[in-house]
A and B are shown apart, each in its own frame.
Chain A
């Protein structure tokens, strides 16, 4: 037998979410709770079945035998994950991308859209060893698009960063 696989943590999280959907809906008037209760109970039952299935599979799996690889997304309307993406280097690269996203978000709050977005483009290209001239063109081009197209033409009111607010 095997212990509960890590992938079941997601199933467990979903079970908690559906439990919460039902729990919060319970105290509301009929008009507001009818649909949440319907969906919540349905989701809870489905996820319970899925979790039961995963537990059963883990319980009955013989560790001494090689595991048969089943692609859960065979025929699915979604791209299946590839072996490269599942490899250690693939995961490290994915982690790096999350770092870039988090950095961009922090940049948006701290220095605002006008600086953070072109800066991210420039730094990303520089980190991946693109030619300096290309990095410069792309950075300036992004700054022009953010300011010219989105702010001036489409009137998007980008908020100032916290640092600018503090300085000025």
Chain B
């Protein structure tokens, strides 16, 4: 009876209602607010970012119910692109990958005393972008659902590998390093007792390693510790620019975002498109949107870069809309397009929510709760940011001597909370060193995390494929097509780079 009940696929409307009720429960709502406040404060500080915020709060999600955990984890992520515009606009310091292009026009606006207008425009465009991204995600579900149900283990295996390779190959000028680090992440995920055969692998006879490496200590170590060290080694606060008057111009900024509503819609779609492609992310979405706005807005060539509010609006609408787009491959195919999404993905797995087939069938209410969260959290964050802009900006004035010990203490306590073992703290610190060495050596860290998260899934899909088809699974049409795509992903960027390099050396004038 119970099994039959689980197997019943909820209708879209029922699932949407159940998802809304789930996150509107007082406890889930409270956790969403906690996530919003903490995330907005932490991402307002450059170098801390949403990854650190999620990593620090992830341990507390383990003890929560399904919707409560989703509310906490997703809200931290959903709002991370909104608050990071504060430092970009006010101090010309990007709060994260997605706020680099905000500086182009936001900072000149702040310099001429229009900081409040720029901030209000950025926050409003961000909220509108977030809503558009969520609507696109909603519209994508009926299209993607039958496609997911058609796929088998070989296709899913190739998709998981594609996720790792894509993020790896797009890691700057060293794609080989990126993919190799992704493979290292897959190797780390194998540590522990193999769930199918019961064989201990890479445990070095340590009882602690029988359970494998915990995602939480690994993530905190990999991202939070190196950022702390680099923050301290820079020896200066996030910003030392005086805060100006922020109350004036707020209304004008909100009005600007609505006046240029068509630009908001266009930029949001640019963001969604970038989000769907795993590996691209905020740092690409903002420049794409900025470039699009510069090419299409009237008189942009003269005013952009000198404090045009349209430059701010386009960027912030795109970066927040990207999240909705990025959730499409994450939820439907189990391919998180970035390390932050890999963390979300890992968090969902820990509380028993499995992206892929399940989340679009038996757990469709969870999918809808995520969509609702994207909408509600975006709107609430915008309202909070508009209300508390000054207070959030003040967080950026904190000295590293205050930030470092507090975050280090949180990192230690968060790691211990993973499984109540001091070994987790040791692992966290070990991966802190690994993260520092990787970053110092120019090796990207996100593919490693993606490998760790996707490793167990990839292994299960590989074994199922091998059992059913033998090595013949590699020549199944779906798997073969995806493999070709994978090869193109690896080869295409380096071919393009070489082509550009040879073209530029032949014709330096035509380089741009």
Contacts and interface: CB of A to CB of B under 8 A. Distances in A.
Contacts of B177: 50, 72
Contacts of B202: 21, 24
B471 to A, nearest CB: 10
A74 B416 contact: no
A63 interface: no
B476 interface: no
Interface in B232-259: 232-235
A14 interface: yes
B405 A156 contact: no
A146 to B, nearest CB: 7
A36 B201 contact: yes
A35 B405 contact: no
A17 to B, nearest CB: 7
Interface string B374-404: 0000000000000000000000000101101
Given A82-B234, A89-B235, A71 B462 contact: no
A150 B409 CA distance: 12
A146 B409 CA distance: 9
Nearest to A92: B233
Contacts of A84: 233-235
B233 A73 contact: no
Interface size class of A (residues with CB under 8 A): 35 or more
Interface string A69-111: 0111111111101101100011101101110111011001100
A64 interface: no
Contact of B179 (A46, A101, A113, A121): A46
Interface stretch (B114-122, B142-150, B310-318, B441-449): B441-449
Q: Count chain B CB atoms within 10 A of each CB in A38, A46, A102, A157 and give the residue with the most.
A: A46
Contacts of A85: 230, 233-234, 440
A97 B417 contact: no
A94 B440 CA distance: 11
A105 to B, nearest CB: 6
B491 interface: no
A59 interface: no
Contacts of B405: 100, 120-121, 124-125, 138
* Interface secondary structure of B, over-half rule: helix
B269 interface: no
Nearest to B284: A75
A97 B178 CA distance: 27
B173 A71 contact: yes
Contacts of B227: 79
A46 B176 contact: yes
Contact of B229 (A73, A97, A138, A146): A97
A49 B446 contact: no
Interface in B200-240: 201-202, 225, 227-230, 232-235
A159 interface: yes
Contact of A121 (B47, B230, B409, B417): B409
A77 B170 contact: yes
B180 interface: yes
A62 interface: no
B338 interface: yes
Q: Count chain B CB atoms within 10 A of each CB in A29, A31, A39, A71 and give the residue with the most.
A: A39
A140 interface: no
A130 B402 contact: yes
Contacts of A28: 197, 199, 201
Contact of B190 (A35, A128, A156): A35
B180 A43 contact: yes
B403 to A, nearest CB: 10
Nearest to B436: A94
Contacts of A113: 412-413, 416
B73 interface: no
A101 B180 CA distance: 28
B97 interface: yes
A158 B254 CA distance: 49
Contact of B235 (A29, A31, A73, A93): A93
A34 B442 contact: no
A130 B402 CA distance: 9
B406 interface: yes
Interface stretch (B84-92, B125-133, B420-428): B420-428
B338 A47 contact: no
A94 B184 contact: no
B304 interface: no
Contact of B439 (A32, A77, A81): A81
B505 interface: no
B183 A77 contact: no
3 A-B pairs with least C-beta separation = A76-B172, A128-B401, A72-B442
Interface of B: 47, 60, 63, 97, 167, 170-174, 176-180, 183-184, 186-187, 190, 194, 196-197, 199, 201-202, 225, 227-230, 232-235, 279, 281, 283, 338-339, 399, 401-402, 404-406, 408-409, 412-413, 416-417, 420, 422, 425-426, 429, 432-433, 436-446, 455, 458-459, 462-463, 466
22 contacts: A14-B180, A21-B190, A75-B283, A76-B178, A76-B444, A77-B444, A77-B446, A81-B440, A84-B233, A84-B235, A90-B235, A97-B404, A100-B405, A101-B225, A105-B425, A109-B422, A124-B404, A138-B402, A138-B405, A142-B406, A154-B63, A159-B422
Given A32-B201, A77-B171, 10 more contacts: A21-B187, A28-B199, A76-B173, A79-B439, A85-B233, A104-B408, A105-B426, A109-B422, A124-B408, A142-B409
